[in-house]
């Protein structure tokens, strides 16, 4: 056997062994990922328990919100009801685009409606694992700015010819070696320098294109799984792009092969050349590409909803009532509380809540408001029974002063309340108001808040639940509001709350007793008791 044959045999052996090792590594990696996915379901955990620094949960919502202004959960209500926390606790998405869709859904931009698919994710382990595995391969490394990423990007057609310069120089080298070699060297150096300069202008878009390639590939593979929806996309339009994307991504990998491919890419300026080929194809077939984005995000959200329901101790599928504006629920709890106290109520008219500090008024209102939103977006409610007529949800609860805008606490309240009057249609509206106008003096607070509550009660298709410490409202508004209350019991130096809603107005107060319980000086406590008698 000649030295040449030995060398050829050795090189061939290395290549074969490399392929075998690569295949084995890929199998092990897949097995680990599948096992991890199965463990996530058993442990009720998300794929990532941290927030990536490049996360853009709200991108799709902000991009499209102007087209949905009449139906969205506005910023104030989102903040009042702690929906950022609800979003993160319920976020079991595997993909960045799934997270974006989930956020927009909770803002009432979309709703999840596919009971058959939801049942498959809940009850069929093999189906769930197959789909989740494909979604996990897409992941969250990039938060693509679609559809902006496929908008036409101006290209220089002269630069598109740069990959051919070294090739032309090679041809010249056969004719005139000295001139050809010089041209090869100059063209390679020119391409490397120009490539580094131009890459700064499209590097983020390049990462998004890599992400889109994953979405296209996995959409096609997912649509072949029995039980998944089919997708009306002609994937042959994107044939060949996978190779181009694969070459560009591998050329950035930390390996010897990746380094050689990187050198080839820079020498021929293939990143700029391939980028514009890929980008122009995506733009040409952008509707099909966006169909794949929706397909992936919808599947991801179905898995997420199945997992979120699994984490809830109590939930039901709500029942929609079309005949009258009402909310009727049994054993309703706040979804963020681990040991929440359940409450039942039939809200078929406006409600005025009274009660002492920390008795449960605000938490109760938030629980009702949150579940009205969850019912309309995710078709779940954290209750044993939940009947409702769909409608918009507005709140005015956690008002604060704003140093940057110069708004005082009271001015912030006014703006928050004022937006409740801005409805231009007759769609049902649910308003939740906590401690209205507490930022001003007693006399004007009572007068202004009574006027506002009376006015709101007269508006068509409005249902109001308001909480107040001003017990005077209970009598003066009894014709337009039904009275309910929360109370407490005090024993020695302890105060006990049962957090149960009760019919009628409150008959207890605890502010002065809390002075005693928290061990303020006894003189302060006694003076307060005497002073309140003179006020009453």
Q: What pLDDT digit, counting tens, does each position of 252-271 carry?
A: 555 556 566 666 677 777 77
pLDDT tops 90 at residue 193: no
- How many Å apart are CA 499 and CA 293, to the nearest integer? 45
How does residue 361 score in pLDDT terms, banded at 50, 70 and 90? Answer: very high
Residue 1 has pLDDT above 80, yes or no: no
Residue of 312, 422, 308, 430 whose CA lies nearest to 45: 308
* Side-chain-facing half-sphere of 162: CA atoms under 13 Å: 27
Q: What is the rounded distance in angstroms from the CA atom of residue 104 to the CA atom of residue 191?
A: 43
Residue 443: pLDDT band by 50, 70, 90 thresholds? Answer: confident
Neighbours of 402 (CB within 10 A): 13
* CA–CA distance, 330 with 386 (Å, rounded to integer): 7
Whether the predicted pLDDT of 20 surpasses 80: no
Selection from 50, 135, 45 nearest residue 96 by Cα: 135
Q: What is the pLDDT of residue 5?
A: 55
Q: What is the pLDDT of residues 194-217, one digit of tens each?
A: 777 777 666 657 778 888 999 999
Confidence at 220, pLDDT banded by 50, 70, 90? very high
pLDDT of 98 > 90? The answer is: yes
Say if CB 218 and CB 228 are below 8 A apart.
no
321: its two tokens: 């009532």
CA distance 230 to 226: 10
460/216 Cα distance (integer angstroms): 48
Q: Tell me the whole-structure pTM to 2 decimals.
A: 0.86
Mean pLDDT over 367-373 rounds to 98
| Whole-number Å distance between alpha carbons of 476 and 52 | 52
pLDDT at 406 over 90: no
Q: What is the pLDDT of residue 396?
A: 92
> Is pLDDT at 512 greater than 70 in this prediction?
yes
Over residues 428-450, the mean pLDDT reads 85
Q: Point out the least confidently predicted range of 126-130, 139-143, 379-383.
A: 139-143
Q: Which of 77-81, 157-161, 281-285 has the highest mean pLDDT?
A: 77-81
Contact in structure between 101 and 377 (CB atoms under 8 Å): no
Buried b (16+ CB within 10 A) or exposed e, 215-228: bbbbbeebbeeeeb
For the stretch 30-56, pLDDT in tens is 778 788 899 999 999 999 888 888 888
Q: What is the pLDDT of residue 392?
A: 93
- Write out pLDDT tens, residues 454-495: 999 998 889 999 999 888 888 899 999 999 999 888 887 788
């Amino acid at each position: 056997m000649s030295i040449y044959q030995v060398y050829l045999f050795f090189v061939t052996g290395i290549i074969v062994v490399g392929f075998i090792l690569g295949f084995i590594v890929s199998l092990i990696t897949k097995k680990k990922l599948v096992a991890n996915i199965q463990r996530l379901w058993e442990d009720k955990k998300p794929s990532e328990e941290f927030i990536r620094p490049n996360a853009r949960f709200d991108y799709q919502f902000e991009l499209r919100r102007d087209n949905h202004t009449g139906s969205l959960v506005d910023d104030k209500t989102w903040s009042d009801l702690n929906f950022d926390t609800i979003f993160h606790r319920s976020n079991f998405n595997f993909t960045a685009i799934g997270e974006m869709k989930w956020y927009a859904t909770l803002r009432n931009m979309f709703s999840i409606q596919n009971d058959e698919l939801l049942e498959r994710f809940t009850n069929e382990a093999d189906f769930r694992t197959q789909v989740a595995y494909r979604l996990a391969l897409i992941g969250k490394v990039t938060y693509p700015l679609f559809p902006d990423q496929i908008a036409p990007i101006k290209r220089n057609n002269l630069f598109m010819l740069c990959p051919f310069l070294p090739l032309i120089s090679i041809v010249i080298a056969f004719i005139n070696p000295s001139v050809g070699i010089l041209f090869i060297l100059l063209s390679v150096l020119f391409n490397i320098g120009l490539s580094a300069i131009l890459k700064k202008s499209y590097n983020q878009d390049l990462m998004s294109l890599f992400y889109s390639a994953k979405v296209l590939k996995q959409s096609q593979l997912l649509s072949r799984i029995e039980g998944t929806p089919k997708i009306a996309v002609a994937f042959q339009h994107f044939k060949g792009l996978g190779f181009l994307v694969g070459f560009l991504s591998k050329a950035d990998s930390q390996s010897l092969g990746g380094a050689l491919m990187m050198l080839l890419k820079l020498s021929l300026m293939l990143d700029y050349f391939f980028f514009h080929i890929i980008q122009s194809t995506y733009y040409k077939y952008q509707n099909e590409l966006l169909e794949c984005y929706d397909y992936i995000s919808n599947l991801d959200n179905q898995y997420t909803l199945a997992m979120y329901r699994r984490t809830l101790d109590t939930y039901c599928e709500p029942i929609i009532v079309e005949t009258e504006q009402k909310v009727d629920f049994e054993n309703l709890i706040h979804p963020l509380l681990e040991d929440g106290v359940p409450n039942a109520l039939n809200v078929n008219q406006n409600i005025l809540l009274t009660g002492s500090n920390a008795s449960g008024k605000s938490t109760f209102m938030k629980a009702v408001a949150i579940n009205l939103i969850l019912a309309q977006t995710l078709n779940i409610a954290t209750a044993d029974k939940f009947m409702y007529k769909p409608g918009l949800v507005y709140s005015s609860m956690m008002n604060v002063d704003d140093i940057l805008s110069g708004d005082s606490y009271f001015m912030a309240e006014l703006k928050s309340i004022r937006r409740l009057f801005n409805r231009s249609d007759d769609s049902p509206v649910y308003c939740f108001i906590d401690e209205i106008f507490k930022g001003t003096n007693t006399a004007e607070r009572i007068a202004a808040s009574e006027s506002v509550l009376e006015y709101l009660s007269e508006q068509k298709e409005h249902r109001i639940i308001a909480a107040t410490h001003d017990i005077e409202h209970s009598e003066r508004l009894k014709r337009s509001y039904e009275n309910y209350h929360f109370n407490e019991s005090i024993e020695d130096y302890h105060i006990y709350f049962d957090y149960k809603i009760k019919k009628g107005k409150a008959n207890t107060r605890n502010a002065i007793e809390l002075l005693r319980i928290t061990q303020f000086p006894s003189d302060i406590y006694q003076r307060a008791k005497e002073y309140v008698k003179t006020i009453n």
